[in-house]
Amino acid sequence: MKAFFESVPMTTNRIWKRCIGGAIAVMSIAIASCASPQADSSEDAIAKAIAGECLDCELAGADLTGQSLKAAKLNRSNLSGAQLSGADLSGAFLDSADLQGANLSDAILTKAALTAANLEGANLTGADLSEAYLRGANLTGTDLSNANLTGANLTNTDLATTILDGATLEGASLPDGFAVPE
């Protein structure tokens, strides 16, 4: 390549060096972006989530209101502050997902896997979590008012600050020593 630059007139030589150097820099950025698990734009991550597979995705603050995300694989994804009101997440995989402060009011999470998910301060009022697996999930300050938790697994969770007003807990596996509020 050095021989090529030496055969080109000086002014053209500088232009070629800039062009090739710029192309290499652009390629480096593109390659680095592709290698990063957080490189997806919000729109790309949302499209992947709706398509059903978005592991480790950055979806903080995303508006997924009313979306069908049935059986979606969203493990370890950041959905903090996301709007998921009325979304259908039945059978979805949200293990170790960050849903802190997310709005999941009236969402359908039937048979969803939420093992070790962070739901701190999330709004799940009126949500259907029947047969959902929430073992070890962080439910600190989570609002589960009027939620359906029939047959849900809530073992190894701390429900001390969880709001359960009007929630259905029939057949749910509860943490040791937890007394169902009357």
The CATH number assigned to the domain holding 97 equals 2.160.20.80
pLDDT reported for residue 30: 32
Looking at the fold, whether 12 and 65 belong to one and the same domain comes out as no
Q: Is the pLDDT of residue 133 over 50?
A: yes
Domain co-membership, 123 together with 90: yes
Q: Are both 144 and 157 inside the same structural domain?
A: yes
Q: Is residue 180's pLDDT more than 90?
A: no
- For residues 64 and 115, membership in a common domain is answered with yes
pTM of the full predicted structure? 0.75
The answer to whether residues 98 and 178 belong to one domain is yes
pLDDT of residue 90: 98
59 with 125, same domain: the answer is yes
Q: Are 63 and 42 in contact (CB under 8 A)?
A: no
Based on the fold, state whether residues 26 and 87 are members of the same structural domain: no
The reply to whether 15 and 30 lie within a common domain is: yes
In this structure, the answer to whether residues 75 and 155 fall within a common structural domain is yes
d(CA 49, CA 156): 28
Residue 67 and residue 131 in one domain: yes
How high is the pLDDT of residue 12? 46
Q: How many domains does the chain fold into? A: 2
Give φ, ψ of 35 to 5 degrees: -75, -20
Residue 66 or 28, more confident: 66
In terms of domains, do 97 and 124 share one?
yes
Q: By residue range, what is the domain housing residue 103? A: 40-182
- The reply to whether 68 and 98 lie within a common domain is yes
Q: What is the pLDDT of residue 44?
A: 82
* pLDDT band per the 50, 70, 90 thresholds, residue 6: low
How far apart, in whole angstroms, are the C-alpha atoms of residue 2 and residue 4?
5
